Structure 1
Amino acid sequence: MKTQDFTISFLVPQSAGEVFNAVNNVRGWWSEQVEGKTGALGEVFNYHYQDVHRSRMKIIEFIPNEKVVWLVEANYFNFTRDHAEWTNTKISFEIASKGDQTELVFTHIGLVPTEECYDICTDAWTNYIRGSLKNLITTGKGKPNPYQASIDSAEKMKRDSQSSQDYSISFLVDRAPASVYQAITEVDQWWSTHVKGTSKDVGDEFSVGFGNDHFSTRTVSAAVPFKRIEWRITDCHLPFLKDQEEWIGTENIFDIHPENGKTRLTFTHIGLQPAMECYDVCTKGWNQFIEGSLLPYILEGTGKPLE
């Protein structure tokens, strides 16, 4: 019988024992914020990701080199109507030899398409399992969420360095933080259809073109799900300016905060100040794309990107 439970798998050349050990090194691939033991039957650990997601997991199956199953004893999301949506679901890791390779099959039992968090959660699991966990197995280094203190410190430093003269625009929208965050990452749907590269995860690089050799290239320098996105501009060509590289080194910041049952998005272009040659033209452009395109894309699913 076909199941709707979310499942993904991958093959690696490492042994079943190496895969099993990596799975149980939860801090090495999921989050450095995990508290508690994660390597034996009956152990309970807590996952904490900022104010976005908290879970308590209990290991209910533990067969060395073959299988691990977690029961989600408690869960909290700040971005779903049912904040406890994962509670009583199970997370399974099955390990088996396939020729000279080892297969890992990950299944979140109970995470089905009818759940509100399905799209967001399956996307996140794909990144953690096929990205971070697989990297931990094959290279010895995963990509877990960093310990929260380091994130908070970096955000505070960024806020402290921000000038009141930096261009900023804000709006309040009747959508969940997760929907706002997802819309921002889909740059070709609200800014320009001429996008090369990816704009989702930290380290991603993408270029946005506007015709007549007008382009800018950005690196995603921070991506805190449902809370904050930062892009650093590493290259640009603005043919309508004397200094055609004026944006290089400036940053685009998207801050997302729940507010009275709605979500406030504040966009700031750090470094775009009145003394800059492009200030008037560029602020008008941002007004058009943020309020005139990103906002309707969040609300209606249809933006007005430059084609």
Structure 2
Amino acid sequence: MPNICLTFGTKTPASDICAALTTLEGLASWWTRDTAGDPKQDGTVTFTFGSNGGFDMRVIKVAPRQVHWECIKGPEDWIGTRIEFEIQEEGSHNQLMFRHAGWKSENPFFHHCSTKWATFLLSLRDQLEKGEGRPFPDDIKIEASGM
């Protein structure tokens, strides 16, 4: 099964990274402003992207250096996939390891989501380091004209 795997390094403390992944305010600051629900373990978080729809994520793991979700509602290609954030200490910085695992196939939507995840992870990095992310609807657009 194909996976989307991305990473970035930051001097931001692990506790601040976790707050950006485990609080509604934190999540809304880098992914989509329309974020609601319960980001604690066994909770469900809803992420909405205007008329593009959205996703419901069941929070399956919250630990000091790990956050894992399972998509339980959204586009069919996402249902059952897992989103995993792992923070690894690398001497002078923390490395955020991201994986969107369990895709059934590499199709055009998979490729689109891979690029969008990259833009949103850079939004997360900017939120952590500069205090200003680019969550939807202010995210970097990648669609071609006419799409």
CA RMSD of aligned residues (A): 1.6
Q: Provide the residue aligned with 2:18 in structure 1.
A: 181
Helix, strand or coil at the partner of 1:255: strand
- Whichever residue aligns with residue 31 of structure 2, its letter is W
Q: 2: CA distance between counterparts of 1:213 and 1:168?
A: 23
Kindly state the Cα deviation for residue 261 of structure 1 after the two structures are TM-superposed: 2.1
Larger Cα-atom Rg? 1
User: 1:167·1:273 contact (CA, 8 Å) conserved in 2?
Assistant: no
Which residue does 1:260 correspond to in 2? 91
Equivalent residue, structure 2, for 1:172: 9
Structure 1 regions of 5+ residues with no counterpart?
Answer: 1-162, 238-244
How far off its partner does 1:184 sit? 2.1
Alignment CA distance shift 1:294-1:273 (3 Å): farther
Describe the superposition over 1:176-235 as per-residue Cα deviations: whole angstroms up to 9, x where unpaired.
Answer: 111111122221110001112122x1011111111225111001000012x100000001
Which residue in 1 is equivalent to 2:144?
none
Paired residue for 1:220?
59
Contact 1:273 1:279 in 2 (8 A): no
For residues 57 and 43 of structure 2, the distance between their equivalents in structure 1, rounded to whole angstroms, comes to 8
2:117 maps to 1:286: yes
Of the three residues 125, 128, 132, the one matched with 1:302 is: 132
Counterpart code for 2:126: P
Q: Which has the higher contact order (CA 8 A, sep 6+)?
A: 2
Alignment partner of 1:203 is 2:42: yes
TM-score (norm 2): 0.84
Q: Identity, % of aligned pairs?
A: 23
Aligned counterpart, 1:230: 68
For residue 147 of structure 1, what is the aligned residue in structure 2?
Answer: none
CA 1:224–1:208: 2 relative to 1, 3 Å: same
1:166·1:273 contact (CA, 8 Å) conserved in 2?
no
TM-score, normalised to structure 1, is: 0.42
Listed one character per residue, the Cα deviations across residues 24-59 of structure 1 (whole Å, up to 9, x for unaligned) are: xxxxxxxxxxxxxxxxxxxxxxxxxxxxxxxxxxxx
Instruction: Give the secondary structure class of the aligned counterpart of 2:74.
Output: strand
Q: CA–CA distance in 2 between the matches of 1:276 and 1:254? A: 23
